[in-house]
Amino acid sequence: MDEEELSQYLAKSLVVMIIGSNDYLNNYLLPLLYTTSSKYKPKDYADLLISHYTHQILALQRLGLRKFLLAGVGPLGCIPNQLVTGLPLSGKCVSFVNDIVGLFNKQLGSLVNQLNANHSGAIFVYGNTYGVFTDILNNPSHYGFRVTDRGCCGIGRNQGQISCPPLFIPCLTRDQYVFWDAFHPTQAVNEIIAQRAYSGSPSDCYPINVKQMAYV
Ligand SMILES: *[C@@H]1O[C@H](CO)[C@@H](O)[C@H](O)[C@H]1NC(C)=O
């Protein structure tokens, strides 16, 4: 491609950024391994992540990318890995974990507003992973799910600890499970979240959805 073709190609490309979960699960929420949670209050940690994130997003924008889907973090307090901490009442999620990722999502939503206001040649949309995931957990049968608190892959004492290891035999009805393993949603859940980002209402994907962004 020559320079002109490349900038046209970048300008019509979609950038999909889905990051943040591991900054919580594999860092902030592991106080025995990392000092982050003693150095930063939840709000300050969210600010720190968003500040680094902003620089990276703007670097991509300066390269000529113009269409960004920035997905929020899901309700991490509801994943099997957090449920086995013994902190939640039975049948409930770990609310302080959901509260701190909520701070990140709130900041990401306001970043999207700022980016749209400051960079008129580009579009930034916020994918409300948290909202869609919570809807699935609150109405599992509506979506055909039967199991919301255990992974399809994982039993016994490994239930809350592991990603699905090689050679491990998972459950046979993965479409009925919200979680694939202790950390990750199943393909069935990812499909719903992707559909809602693609063609959902502004409460799913804000201010416009990915389909609309693609046509702009
Ligand atoms: C947007 O512009 C305002 C006003 O100049 C500035 O304070 C803010 O940092 C900018 N934000 C982003 C994300 O570009």
The predicted structure's pLDDT at residue 207: 98
Is the C-alpha dihedral spanning 134, 135, 136, 140 positive or negative?
Answer: positive
Q: State if residue 114 touches ligand 1 by the CB under 6 angstroms criterion.
A: yes
The 10 Å Cβ neighbour count of residue 73 is 25
How much is the average pLDDT of 33-43? 97
| Segments in the chain forming alpha helices (H) | 3-12, 21-23, 36-39, 42-63, 80-83, 95-118, 129-138, 187-199, 210-215
Measured from the Cα of 118, ligand 1's closest atom is 1
Q: State if residue 112 touches ligand 1 by the CB under 6 angstroms criterion.
A: no
How much is the average pLDDT of 41-59? 98
The predicted structure's pLDDT at residue 63: 96
Please choose from 53, 108, 114 the residue to mutate so as to test ligand 1's pocket, defined by most ligand atoms within 8 A of CB: 114
How much is the average pLDDT of 151-155? 83
Give which of 70, 126, 130 is closest to 100, Cα–Cα: 130
Rounded percentage of the chain residues whose pLDDT exceeds 70:
94
The predicted structure's pLDDT at residue 163: 75
The predicted structure's pLDDT at residue 84: 85
Q: State if residue 116 touches ligand 1 by the CB under 6 angstroms criterion.
A: no
Q: What is the pLDDT of residues 76-132, one digit of tens each?
A: 999 999 988 866 666 689 999 999 999 999 999 999 999 999 999 999 999 999 999
Average pLDDT over all residues of the chain: 94
The predicted structure's pLDDT at residue 154: 75
Measure the CA–CA gap between 100 and 170, rounded to whole angstroms: 31
Q: State if residue 54 touches ligand 1 by the CB under 6 angstroms criterion.
A: yes
Q: How confident is the model at residue 159 (pLDDT cuts 50, 70, 90)?
A: low
**pLDDT reading at 194 higher than 60:** yes
**pLDDT reading at 33 higher than 80:** yes
Q: State if residue 115 touches ligand 1 by the CB under 6 angstroms criterion.
A: yes
Q: What is the pLDDT of residues 6-19, one digit of tens each?
A: 999 999 999 999 99
Cα of 115 to ligand 1 centre, how many Å? 7
The predicted structure's pLDDT at residue 90: 66
CATH number of 3-214: 3.40.50.1110
Q: How confident is the model at residue 3 (pLDDT cuts 50, 70, 90)?
A: very high
Q: State if residue 203 touches ligand 1 by the CB under 6 angstroms criterion.
A: no
189 vs 164, which has greater pLDDT? 189
**pLDDT reading at 161 higher than 70:** no
